[in-house]
Amino acid sequence: MRIRLFLRLGTALLLVLLCVPLVPASAQSGQYAAIDALVRERMRDTHVPGLAYAVVGPDGPIHQRTWGTDGRGDRVTPETPFLWGSVAKPVTATAVMALVQARRLGLGDRVVDRLPEFRFGGAAHVSRVTVRHLLNQTAGIPASATFKVTDCFGAGCPRPAERLRALDGVTPLGPPGSRYAYSSANYLALAAVVESVTGRPYAEHLRRSVLAPAGMDGAIADAGAAERLPPGHQLLWGFPAATADGFDHHGVGYGYLGGDLDDLTAFAALQLRSGSPVLTPDSARAMREEGRLVPGGDGSGYGYGWRIGGLDAPLDDAIWHTGGVPGYSAMVFLLPRQNVALVLHQNLYGLLQDSAVMRVGFDAARLLAGGEPAEPPSAAGHHLTVWGITAVAVLMLLAAGRSVQLLRRPAGNASTRRRATVAAAWVLAGASPGIGLVALAGRVGLSAPMIWVPDAFLALCVAAAAGTATAALRLALAVRPTRADPR
């Protein structure tokens, strides 16, 4: 009897164990199908050629999908490499914290003691900037300074420490620690600090301290690895074009880090394991807790490389970061309540498409956390900017052509005042695009807009050239002799 009773109890227990996971597994399957459908829809809406994403647990990927093609026309697979943009920042912060754990660097160490080249803000200011200030973006470096030191393509570009000299004349936003301002210059400086402390290229330390222990074996962290990276895509007048193939050899610390889907999921899993085996739980916790004290510009906190919260429920406790470089974008969302993460990267990015292209990650994370996706953002701003400037360029070209026609005709007998008025109006209209181009160059230079918004920038250049020609031709019309009155 006892044996029979034990058998019945064992059978019942086995049935319970077998049946319990069926409901949540079914629910999860439906949830993943909903995320898949949303991601495909967003891809179509934003004209993204290729995308890969995964739901990740502490032990690795739970669910993953890939769609579309890369910049060479090949199908996107889990092994297709992408660049991650500013998702590099939490990776860099992890590498810095590894040095802090090893007592080779302190969060309160003055940056100038490690980098004599760092003279930002003058002696009084720079003497108070610490490693912690760089990590949580409170060193006082304004966002506008980013373009002075980033996005340098080619083997001859300066190393991180040498680039920091471009910050010498930049005015700080305030005393160190007093104000948050997101700038990739902070993380370029951190890469220079790592090179100074270790005596090795930043990429080498990154591979030894983070990438290899985390299992990110396919990560792109140097020019050699970047050779297998296909071009990314940018929208040119609304159509994706595989034209973005620049790689900043010394920009891995702030944005030019990449890899395949397995590499991105390995980094997320590392964070879900509280940094093991790279960081101790205390170090991983410090990277996030600090962000609750440093408010970011969008309502989120900013920790050591991580954005903390700042999103509507159910993502109000998310630990996250997004990133984009010309042609590529990526995002990582850690969801502490579910102990899962969502990672996603895609081969399309441009500054004017930022909100539309990034929305896919936010909405997918909302679904994963049990919420509903938000309404997709309007692309009106992008279209108005690009097509508005293009329309101005076309009008200036037509005006220049018309001015040439008028010059080839015999002179009329219009009054001097009328000719002067007409010429002044055309000079003002024709000079406006050129003035805009000069103002843009003075603020960020000419290479940055060509890299980040090529269609709008090319249209502006055409408008400026045609407008200048129109102004000159109209002045020539105004000053040439008039035809004698036959009376």
Q: Are residues 300 and 400 in the same domain?
A: no
Q: What is the percent of the chain where pLDDT is above 70?
A: 92
DSSP 18-39: HHTTHHHHHHHHHHHHHHHHHH
**What was the pLDDT predicted at 28?**
78
pLDDT of 128 higher than 80 = yes
Q: Please report the sign of the dihedral spanned by the C-alpha atoms of residue 344, residue 348, residue 354, residue 357.
A: negative
Which DSSP symbol is given to 154? S
Asked whether residue 154 is assigned to any structural domain, the reply reads yes
**What was the pLDDT predicted at 294?**
77
Q: Are residues 260 and 130 in the same domain?
A: yes
Q: What's CA 438's distance to the chain center, in Å?
A: 25
- Determine phi and psi for 122, rounding to 5 degrees: 90, 170
Peptide bond connecting 277 to the previous residue in cis, omega within 30 degrees of 0? yes
B/e letters for 27-57, b = 16+ CB within 10 Å, e = fewer, are: eeeebbeebbebbeebbeebbbbbbbbbbbb
CATH code for the domain in which residue 352 is found: 3.40.710.10
Asked whether residue 9 is assigned to any structural domain, the reply reads no
d(CA 71, CA 84): 16
**What was the pLDDT predicted at 245?**
83
Asked whether residue 246 is assigned to any structural domain, the reply reads yes
Q: Are residues 360 and 388 in the same domain?
A: no
Asked whether residue 362 is assigned to any structural domain, the reply reads yes
Domain, as residue range, for 195: 26-368
Asked whether residue 133 is assigned to any structural domain, the reply reads yes
Q: Are residues 164 and 215 in the same domain?
A: yes
**What was the pLDDT predicted at 418?**
78
Q: Are residues 391 and 305 in the same domain?
A: no
d(CA 357, CA 47): 9
pLDDT tens for residues 247-297? 999 999 999 999 999 999 999 999 999 999 999 999 999 999 887 777 776
- Determine phi and psi for 230, rounding to 5 degrees: -75, 160
B/e letters for 6-17, b = 16+ CB within 10 Å, e = fewer, are: eeeeeeeeeeee
Q: Are residues 138 and 228 in the same domain?
A: yes
Worst-scoring range by mean pLDDT, 66-80, 94-108, 357-371, 439-453?
Answer: 439-453
Q: Are residues 140 and 185 in the same domain?
A: yes
**What was the pLDDT predicted at 482?**
64
Q: Which domain-ending residue is among 314, 340, 368? A: 368
Q: Are residues 266 and 133 in the same domain?
A: yes
Indicate the number of domains in the chain.
Answer: 2
Q: Whose CA is closest to 138, among 171, 178, 108?
A: 178
Worst-scoring range by mean pLDDT, 3-12, 65-74, 87-96, 359-368?
Answer: 3-12
Q: Are residues 278 and 411 in the same domain?
A: no
pLDDT of 7 higher than 50 = no
**What was the pLDDT predicted at 480?**
77
d(CA 14, CA 29): 23
d(CA 319, CA 285): 11
Report the first-to-last Cα separation within the chain, whole angstroms.
134
d(CA 101, CA 94): 10
Q: Are residues 144 and 267 in the same domain?
A: yes
Confidence band of 200 (pLDDT split at 50, 70, 90):
very high
Q: Is 0.85 topped by the overall pTM?
A: yes
B/e letters for 275-291, b = 16+ CB within 10 Å, e = fewer, are: bbebbeeebbebbbebb
Q: Are residues 172 and 281 in the same domain?
A: yes
Mean pLDDT of the residues in the chain: 90
Q: Are residues 363 and 406 in the same domain?
A: no
pLDDT tens for residues 159-182? 999 999 999 989 999 999 999 999
